[in-house]
Structures are given as C-alpha cells and as structure tokens.
Chain A
Amino acid sequence: METAEAEAMSEQAASLELHGVSRRFGGLQALSDVSFSVQEGEIFGLIGPNGAGKTTLFNLLSGVTPPTSGMIRWRGKRCHGLSPDALNRLGIARTFQNLRLFGELTVLENVLVALHHQAGAQLEPQALALLEELDLAHLADRRADELAYGNRRRLEIARALATKPTLLLLDEPAAGMNPSEKDQLCDLLAEMRQRHQLTLIVIEHHVPLLMQLCHRMAVLDFGRLIALGSPEQIRTNPRVIEAYLGGAR
C-alpha cells in the first residue's frame, strides 16, 4: 500500500478511536495508555511480540474484558464498558486466535447461530451464501470440530460476517495455514472488505502478509504503542526493528 494513500486515510474522520486505553490484570500492566484511531474502510494491522497485548486489545474492543481506564468509540458511539453482545450489535465482530467454534454444531448451524438477529423466517439461504463465499458450502452438514484447520479459521470468519459487522477484528486468521492458503486468505479478506464494506483490524504473526494487506499498522510492545504508520514506515522504524523485528532475527 502506498504511503500517500495511507496518509490520506489518516486524515479522514476517525471511526474507531482509542484514547489512553489501559488494562491491568492484578500486578500485570497488559496495556498502558494506548491511543490511536482507525478510519472507516481501512485495513489496519496490529503486530508485536508475544505478550505485547494484541489479544488483550481485541478483548477490550470486543467487550470480553473492560478497559481499566480510557475511552473507546466506534462511529461516535461509546464502546468501553459494553458487553460483547451489545458491542456486536453496534457492529463489532471478532474471531478468536485459539478458535472458539461451536464444535458440537454443524458448519451451517455455526453460521445460523450468528444470524440470530437477522430478520426473515428463512436464515438457511443467507447462511449458505456466506458459506459459499468462504468456500465452505460443501461442508455445511459436517460438525465444526471435524473440519481441517484452515477451514475452521474460515468458518470463524464466516460466523463473524454473519452478524453483519461494520468493524471486523481478526485474531491471527492465517495461523496454521500453508503459504497458498495464506495467499488465498489475503485475497479473500481484501474482497470481503469491499463486498461487506468492512473496516478490518488484523492481528497476524506473519508480518509480510500483513504488510501486503494493510493500509496502516500499529506496533505494540510490552503493552505500549511504539509505532503507527504505513507498512513502509513501520518497516523502517528503528524502534520497531529493535523491539520486534530485531528481536526475531
């Protein structure tokens, strides 16, 4: 993604705003004073070493845990302190790093559950259309816990999309996928964003994939935001190289 385009993005009115967001677990400061904003329609990457607080940030954004302090807004509406279901109804959906499918239910039922609030007596056609999009329709009657890993990841995405989100949080969507699956996922996510008019925030360990996909990225280290900018800016940021890329190599 071009730097110019990324800058143009950051000048638009922010849709997701975080101001001084912190989270403490007992003696552990998991996130401290994190502030940034994400524009509507943006694909935003979140990277950082293990334990940097990426998933904690997702948990705050999705209401799984409340922030200890700070403020979160999505499209001008207050998000901090709301429950996961209330936030989902505000348009925020997520997937889970360690996959939390309804293993006892079929693939189709997993998506039907997520269609709970959609109108219409016939939910099956909607669910099947989503499964079709994610290339899972042929597995509709299989139990979710019988699926191969890559398919489970895609089912998590299908299920999140079924709640008709405007902001989709993807926690390591490519984990456990092989290179060709990762490439496909990349294309798929870009396409999804277009078709469903999504704003995407993606946590991913596979940094090259993220750099290829995202407009802008944020880097967390020990619960602090240490860099924010276009993939190019991140790639050349000395603090990031030191804290993250440097440590990895």
Chain B
Amino acid sequence: MPDNGLLVQMILGALLGLSVYLPMAAGQLSLATPAFYAVGGTLAALMATHADHQGTISLGAVLWEMVVAGALTAALATLVGLPVLRLRGIYLAIATIALVEIVRVAILNLPFTGGATGIFGIPQPFHHPLGYITLSGGLLALCGWAFQRLETSRLGRAMAAIRDDELATRCMGINTTRVKLSAFVASAVLAGVTGVIAAHYLNTWNARQGSFDVAITTLAFVILGGSRSWLGPVIGGLLLTALPELLRPVGDLRLVLFGLVILLGPVFFPQGLITPALLEKLGRWKLRRLKP
C-alpha cells in the first residue's frame, strides 16, 4: 500500500497527465506541460519565500498563489499558443520541447530563482500529507467532474472533431484555432496550479522540476493510460508515478524497468490501459445497474 507521501505524488502525476491530455484531446501533441508546471512551481516558491511566513503558510495564501499561477500561465500560454498552434504533429511537439528547454534554462539563469540549487524552505500549509492529499485530491475530483462534462459539451465535441479531421471541422464553421488555444491554455493553467501544490509539498524547487524528462514521463502517463478518455491519463499518472517507488526494491534497475514499460507499453497496449472498448463495457455495466 503506498504511503501518504507517495499518494500525493501520484495525484500530482494524474493532474499532470490530464494537463498533457487536454491538447491531445484536440489532436495537438504538446509537450509544454513541464514548462507551465515549472512556471507555477517557481512562482509559488518565490511568492511563499518572499513573504514572511516563518515556515508555515495559510491555505488561503496557497490558494491565492494558485490563482496568480493560473493567470500567469494562461497569459503565457495564450502568447505562446497563438503562433505555435499553427504547427502540426511532430513540429508542434518539437516546438513545445523547445519551450520547455527555454523555460528550464531561464529558471536556471535568472538572478532571483536560485540557480542550479533552486529555492529552499518553501513554507508548508499542512504539517501532514493528508492535507496535501485533500488539496490535490480535491483538485483532481474537480477536474474529473469538469472533464466528464467537457466530453458531452460543444467545446469537447469540437476538440474531438479536430483530433479526427481539423479541416473538416473548420468547414463546419468552427474556429479551430480558438478551440485548440482553449485546450492549450486550460492545459497550461492545470500544469501551473499543479506546480504550486508541488512546490509546497516538495518544500524546494529548482529548474530540474520542469525538464525534458518530465515531458517524457507525463506523455507516457497519457499514452500508457490511454488517450481516448480523461480516465486514461489519470490512471496512467497514478500508476506510473507509483511504479518507480514500487520498484525501489530492485535498486538501480528500476529506471531501466521504467524505460522498458515506456518502450513496451505502446507495443502491447497500443490504445493504453483504458481503451474505448473498455469504457463501452463499463458504460453498459453502469446502464444495467441503473435499470434493475
């Protein structure tokens, strides 16, 4: 059974998986999530350490950081998304990798972000992981509710249509740039807000938190969990965050095994763990329970 600390990380992983999933649900392979995660984390670290909190911080202050991080990442994502979302497929993926690297180097070199060692002693709003579980779990539940609604909304359907055929979607009168940008911005906000929680939970923040490695790992959450429904990245995020910890007994081999999972997962589960067929079965099961 995972301990409480691991549970927090698992939930944060699920949130990041959802952040990668959002643009993908609109057919956009964006790897920008770690960039916005890093912006959110750095912002929280700066805000929390500059105010005089004496080692502890109120939940209200953390929520306020989340609001500011959300606004900042939304503005940034709009600025970046407008030019970048004209790119397709692998070009978009590479451009967003570039964004991740630019943000990483910036955080490493800016005079006020602590350089390679980063920012230490970020005050904690909770003294027990249970607090973080409630906060991040609450956010995850909120996301689950929102994503479920999204799937049957105009915006969600337009996203699915773009994923299928962007040109045909445009010919249906839908401003696909706006839809893609909405998904990209929402993804950035989710990553930024998750970064705020992570910064407090980890107590320290540095440039490595938002590196290319994180881009790969979070992408793996979605691909291995399944990219056809929001449940996929949640399951993928929970499991894959737990995996390296569960593999701790094998020592150094755990990262090799983790790599093998990423390598072989798509070969054996091309649709991920949560497949459309599985969801359909689940749906029928639910129907049967409702109709006695």
A residues contacting B by CB (< 8 A) are 62, 64, 83-85, 88-89, 93-94, 96, 100-105, 109, 112-114, 116-117, 123, 159, 162-163
Contact = CB atoms under 8 A, between A and B. Distances in A.
Given A85-B176, A112-B157, A116-B158, A62 B171 contact: yes
Interface string B154-165: 100110110111
A102 to B, nearest CB: 4
Q: Secondary structure at chain B's binding surface: helix, strand, loop or mixed?
A: helix
Given A100-B165, A113-B169, 12 more contacts: A62-B171, A84-B167, A84-B170, A85-B174, A88-B173, A100-B168, A101-B165, A102-B168, A102-B169, A112-B157, A114-B172, A163-B173
Contacts of B176: 85
A65 to B, nearest CB: 11
B256 to A, nearest CB: 35
Which of A88, A102, A113 has the most chain B CB atoms inside 10 A of its CB? A113
A101 B157 contact: no
A113 B153 CA distance: 10
B54 interface: no
B168 A116 contact: no
B173 A85 contact: yes
B164 A85 contact: no
Interface in B56-90: none
Contacts of B174: 85, 113, 116-117
Nearest to A102: B164
B173 A117 contact: yes
A91 to B, nearest CB: 10
A89 B173 contact: yes
Given A100-B165, A100-B167, A101-B168, A85 B160 contact: no
Complex A-B, nearest 4 residue pairs according to Cβ-Cβ distance, in ascending order:
A88-B173, A100-B168, A102-B164, A84-B170
A154 to B, nearest CB: 16
Interface in B124-175: 154, 157-158, 160-161, 163-165, 167-175
Given A64-B167, A96-B168, A116-B154, A102 B173 contact: no
A114 B170 CA distance: 10
Contacts of A112: 157
B138 to A, nearest CB: 28
B167 to A, nearest CB: 7
B163 A104 contact: yes
A159 B164 contact: no
A109 B157 contact: yes
